[in-house]
Structure 1
Amino acid sequence: MKNTIAVYGAYGHTGKFIVAQLYKLGYKLMLSGRDHEKLTDLKKQYPNSEIKAADIEDSEALDNAFSDAKIIINCAGPFLDTATPVIQSALRLGIHYIDLSAEQKSVLDIFEQFSEQAKNDKIIIIPAAAFYGGLGDLLSTAVTQDWNQIDEINIYIGLDSWHPTKGTRLTGDRNHYKRLTFKDKKLLEFQSGPTTKWNFKNPIGTKEVVGLPLSEIITISRHLNVNSINTYLSQNSLDDLRNENTPEPKPTDEKNRSSQQFSVEVLAKNGKTERTITAQGQDIYAVTSPLVVEAVNRILSGKIKNTGVTVMGEIFDAADFLRSLDTDDIVISDIEESELN
């Protein structure tokens, strides 16, 4: 392929997964970030790629790094700090933008600041295209695709463990904003509630879950006609995240994935009808790569529904997108429907 893809934060944990998959598909790569030494080391693995270091506060350096690209993938969190300057560069250059944000405030800021210009310039800006944000949005959109309105969407995320990266910890330290939930078609400040139990089936099993709204609350509420959205995370994974002694993820296979297993189950209700869809796989950081790379493929091939600031479930055919993913990366269940008493 002749299309150049710029990856900012290319040497980060998730960035490396994305770079590897793009390289395997034959894309020309522009690898960027703030650390020239790390970029130089990464280039040794991808000799046909280019590298250009650029500080987030240096607009000229950012423009120089991205100038030949068709799409910028921003993998450098915290996105509260990096999203705005990278998007500003994308808009100056007329380039599409994708990021991996789990931070609600970052996603909201992107919609508020850039929607008008991106729409006028026909530039695609997709925040939160990762495991958190993008996957839940795609699943929710697919399971409700023929419903004009939705009473409730509940997303249950089960991890057998969570070994957070340095980037995850930095984001947690930086993100001091209050979390938002979605109720009665409004974004409201989240009030923590009691834990409950959810059966994720194998390989996760039954886990205690706790309400924890992340960026999928924002992405889903932007385009689906839904009354309420709730997201839950298994308590054990949250305990791992909060434990400062939990180590970083370690590679265990040829794709450099950790052994972590995940299950995401979306339950949607409309009147007396209830539907569920499940996604299962290995390594929440690694699975972000096929999601983002498929988004790149579809943007470049014109398989899009709109431009401007948008989200994964809105711009793409969600059901077709999920079907296209390799089952070695993620397994998507059939939609199950039942009638409530």
Structure 2
Amino acid sequence: MKIAVYGASGYQGKLVLAELARRDIEMVLAGRSAARLEQAASAVGIPGAERRVAGTDDHEALVHALRGCDAVVNCAGPFTSSGEAVVRAAIAAGCHYTDTSGEQLQVKGIFDTFATLAREAGVTVMPAATDGCVPGDLIAHLLAERLGPVEEIVSTHVIVGGGGMSRGSLRSLVETFDAVKAGGLAYDDGVWRLGEPARRTEIRLPGQPEPIPVMAFPVAEVVTIPRHVRVRHVEGLTEAALGDQLNSPITLELIDGLPEGPDADSRRAQRFTYVLDAVAAGGRRARGVVHGPDTYGTTAVIAVESARRLVADPAGPGVLAPAQAYDPAAFLDALAPHGIRWSVEDVPVRT
């Protein structure tokens, strides 16, 4: 098995390399700069790893960089401006594709643009292999299995600590700022719409005595869940306090002067809770919860596990949501050694 990492020299890319090395999976480091790829290989402790140079503006070079690889993990954001080039090259190279994108509109664009091309090429494309989208999408499928046809699924992301965002994540935020400020897409009766008001203004987290204020937020699983769950409405939420942070001005020049990303101690101290609340047509309710540490480290684990499974246990060609590519409970259980805990439970019906 040989897995390429495009954008291997970035913050998230190096975490993916480290996870591949931990599993002793053969890898190819790919990106725009030979010097930066060499530095990344040295930093991760894999100086002998194969390196291939290609920019997203050179399709033939990018295809050549991916040829002979079984899968690629694309870590080169912002994905909105460059992600499609890597998808297109992977399909042309006959290489399964996944990425670490959390850019909701770009994830939807992959489904809209590449479904037929990937299917005809016999390639599986599974975007958004992140700490949020993959567990959230898999949990949603388990909720639907429990409840049957679903009226509504609400996915709420809450993250505590972590030392801030990486430079790459901040650049993605700048590029997708308008969509983030609008609250992202919501799915309603078969249509994704941008800027729909959130149906909830507060949520009670597991183990918390009081609800917290929430706001609409563009989580990627809003795009993936309706691909495999019969549901009328899906929306994403996060803490309303995040809105104050989003109002703070940030420029690319300012980002360039920041650290590459949170240090190891900050990442170890970070905790996330993702809650999916589902309501069935008859009023039955169920809740799925995912707890874990270190969003960037968990994303690296999930991206590598996603790519590995696409190669070892082919899911079928096309652009797929996580629950279409993997067995939900088996994948979630495989994350347990990395501190990820999950549950799905019925919720008493409100009277």
Q: Same fold (TM over 0.5)?
A: yes
Match of 1:39 among 37, 43, 46: 37
Is 1:171 aligned to residue 151 of structure 2? no
Change (3 A) 1:201 1:148: closer
Amino acid of the structure 1 residue aligned with 2:320: T
The equivalent residue for 1:272 is 283
Change (3 A) 1:335 1:19: farther
The equivalent residue for 1:251 is 263
Asked if the contact 1:118/1:307 (under 8 Å) is kept, the reply is yes
Asked if the contact 1:100/1:130 (under 8 Å) is kept, the reply is yes
The equivalent residue for 1:289 is 300
Amino acid of the structure 2 residue aligned with 1:68: G
TM-score (norm 1): 0.89
Asked if the contact 1:28/1:48 (under 8 Å) is kept, the reply is no
Amino acid of the structure 2 residue aligned with 1:111: F
The equivalent residue for 1:310 is 320
Displaced runs of 4 or more, over 6 A: none
Change (3 A) 1:20 1:88: same
Structure 1: distance between partners of 2:25 and 2:243: 36
TM-score (norm 2): 0.87
Alignment deviations for residues 253-292 of structure 1 (CA, whole Å, 9 cap, x no partner) = 4xx8352211001111112211111111112222112211
Structure 1 unaligned residues grouped into runs of 5+ = none
Asked if the contact 1:194/1:210 (under 8 Å) is kept, the reply is no
Q: How does 1:150-169 map to 2 (within 5 A)?
A: 150-161=150-161, 163-169=164-170
Secondary structure at 2:238 match in 1: strand
Asked if the contact 2:285/2:349 (under 8 Å) is kept, the reply is yes
The equivalent residue for 1:200 is 205
Asked if the contact 1:197/1:208 (under 8 Å) is kept, the reply is yes
Asked if the contact 1:159/1:237 (under 8 Å) is kept, the reply is no
Change (3 A) 1:12 1:206: farther
Structure 1: distance between partners of 2:136 and 2:4: 25
The equivalent residue for 1:186 is 191
Secondary structure at 2:76 match in 1: coil
Alignment deviations for residues 123-156 of structure 1 (CA, whole Å, 9 cap, x no partner) = 1001112124323212211222244411110111
Aligned length: 336
Is 1:233 aligned to residue 245 of structure 2? no
C-alpha displacement of 1:321: 1.0
Say what the alpha-carbon RMSD is for the aligned residues: 2.5
Structure 2 unaligned residues grouped into runs of 5+ = none
45-54 vs 91-100, which moves further: 45-54
Asked if the contact 1:160/1:204 (under 8 Å) is kept, the reply is no
Secondary structure at 1:38 match in 2: helix
C-alpha displacement of 1:327: 4.2
C-alpha displacement of 1:186: 2.0
Q: How does 1:73-92 map to 2 (within 5 A)?
A: 73-92=73-92
C-alpha displacement of 1:108: 2.2
Amino acid of the structure 1 residue aligned with 2:194: E
Q: How does 1:88-99 map to 2 (within 5 A)?
A: 88-99=88-99
256-265 vs 281-290, which moves further: 256-265
Secondary structure at 1:63 match in 2: helix
Alignment deviations for residues 271-325 of structure 1 (CA, whole Å, 9 cap, x no partner) = 2211111111112222112211221232222163x32111112211112211121
Alignment deviations for residues 177-233 of structure 1 (CA, whole Å, 9 cap, x no partner) = 563211223212323459733332469985321111332111112221101012110
Secondary structure at 2:145 match in 1: coil
The equivalent residue for 1:330 is 340
C-alpha displacement of 1:340: 3.8
Structure 2: distance between partners of 1:82 and 1:315: 24
Asked if the contact 1:101/1:133 (under 8 Å) is kept, the reply is no
Asked if the contact 1:204/1:261 (under 8 Å) is kept, the reply is no
Change (3 A) 1:189 1:240: closer
Structure 1: distance between partners of 2:135 and 2:309: 16
Asked if the contact 1:203/1:261 (under 8 Å) is kept, the reply is no
The equivalent residue for 1:130 is 130
C-alpha displacement of 1:46: 0.9
Asked if the contact 2:73/2:99 (under 8 Å) is kept, the reply is yes
Secondary structure at 2:241 match in 1: helix
Change (3 A) 1:286 1:203: farther
Amino acid of the structure 2 residue aligned with 1:289: A
